[in-house]
Amino acid sequence: GAVVSQHPSWVICKSGTSVKIECRSLDFQATTMFWYRQFPKQSLMLMATSNEGSKATYEQGVEKDKFLINHASLTLSTLTVTSAHPEDSSFYICSARVGGQGSEAFFGQGTRLTVV
């Protein structure tokens, strides 16, 4: 199947700093990528839909100025957590569709963010 890779797999940062997480589709082009956040023992919560060449669409309650998304190419989307705080500590997961709407989505391995 198609491969979606995230980097880094885990990161520890100090409170107040910014952290960038990369999501790459390795063997296919993805016009749309999705960013999720998952707290321990909970489900994945969709944060935003990242569209190549245009602004991301954020879900209700997600601060767009805090979670900056850039989808500059068909194989790369980045999520930057700005001015991170301990409550931002979570598991961040991206996914990308191989084809258009309704096609199978593949998920990255996730990035564990810990803010201290």
Task: Name the residues that contact another protein, by CB under 8 A.
Answer: 1, 4, 6, 32, 34, 36, 40-46, 49, 93, 95, 101-102, 104-110, 112
Strands 57-58, 76-81: pairing is unpaired
Nearer to another protein, 17 or 27 (CB): 27
Strand-pairing partners, residue 80, are 20, 68
Least Å distance between CB 26 and another protein?
14
If you search the block for the tokens 């700093």, which residue do you land on? 17
Calpha distance 111→92 (Å, rounded)? 5
Least Å distance between CB 32 and another protein?
7
**CB 87: neighbour CB atoms within 10 A?**
9
Label residue 52 left, alpha or beta by phi (over 0 means left) and psi (-120 to 50 means alpha).
Answer: beta
Nearer to another protein, 84 or 93 (CB): 93
Least Å distance between CB 16 and another protein?
27
If you search the block for the tokens 């601060």, which residue do you land on? 63
Nearer to another protein, 67 or 106 (CB): 106
Least Å distance between CB 59 and another protein?
8
Nearer to another protein, 4 or 19 (CB): 4
